[in-house]
């Protein structure tokens, strides 16, 4: 789901679009549930010790809860990260949004664009876009299978863009 601050206008002549998001272990609802479970897990024993007269334990439980909340918040920041690859009639655009919501954009000429999977021994291959001396890595957060699928789909879209099929009724038999 895109936020309102992002560019939601569709470019003219959109031929291919891929929205790439990193794998997320929890949804926003799951993060909220984790917050509640941790609050209960830290505060119930703390309140019990406070009632028994060991009141400093409640303070330590609060510090632990604050530390856990900070770490969960760091994880939740990744919800804003994404990457969008657009192939339009005018070119290829790569839009990246970082964890702070900042957007960067890169444009490449599709006429000279090559989609390559670069093998890296012992690691997931890199999906590279190369055009006239410019190299751009995309989909760094995806696994090997997803990168192969994306490379195939983007390559097919580039092929369709470079080799359009014209339907001329006068040439039909």
* Domain map (residue ranges) of the chain: 16-22+81-162, 28-78
Asked if 65 and 43 touch (Cβ cutoff 8 Å), the reply is yes
Angstrom CA distances, 102 to 20, 58, 133, 145, stand at 16, 39, 26, 28
If phi > 0 it is left, if psi is from -120 to 50 it is alpha, else beta; for residue 101 that is left
6 has a pLDDT exceeding 60 = no
Instruction: Provide CB contacts within 8 A for 101, sequence distance 6+.
Output: 3, 5, 80
Provide, rounded to the nearest whole percent, the portion of the chain with pLDDT above 90: 32
Question: pLDDT tens for residues 9-49?
Answer: 545 678 899 999 888 777 878 888 888 998 899 889 888 98
At the top level of CATH, which class does the domain 16-22+81-162 belong to?
Answer: mainly beta
What integer best gives the mean pLDDT of the chain? 85
User: In this predicted model, which residue has the larger pLDDT, 160 or 7?
Assistant: 160
> pLDDT value at position 12?
63
CA-based angle 159:162:163, to the nearest 5?
A: 80
pLDDT in tens, 46-94: 889 889 998 888 888 889 989 998 888 887 777 788 999 999 888 899 9
């Amino acid at each position: 789901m895109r936020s309102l601050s992002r560019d939601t206008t569709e470019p003219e002549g959109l031929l291919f679009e891929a929205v790439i998001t990193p794998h997320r272990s929890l949804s926003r609802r799951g993060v909220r549930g984790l917050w509640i479970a941790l609050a209960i897990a830290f505060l119930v024993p703390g309140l019990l010790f406070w009632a028994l007269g060991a009141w400093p334990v409640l303070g330590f439980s609060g510090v632990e809860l604050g530390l856990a909340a900070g770490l969960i918040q760091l994880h939740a920041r990744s919800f804003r990260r994404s990457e969008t690859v657009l192939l339009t009639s005018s070119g290829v655009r790569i839009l990246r949004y970082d964890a702070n919501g900042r957007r960067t954009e890169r444009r490449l000429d599709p006429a000279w664009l090559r989609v390559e999977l670069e093998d890296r021994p012992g690691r997931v291959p890199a999906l590279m876009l190369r055009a006239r001396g410019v190299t751009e890595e995309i989909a760094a957060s995806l696994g090997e299978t997803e990168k192969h699928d994306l490379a195939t789909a983007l390559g097919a879209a580039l092929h369709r863009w470079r080799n359009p099929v014209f339907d001329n009724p006068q040439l039909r038999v």
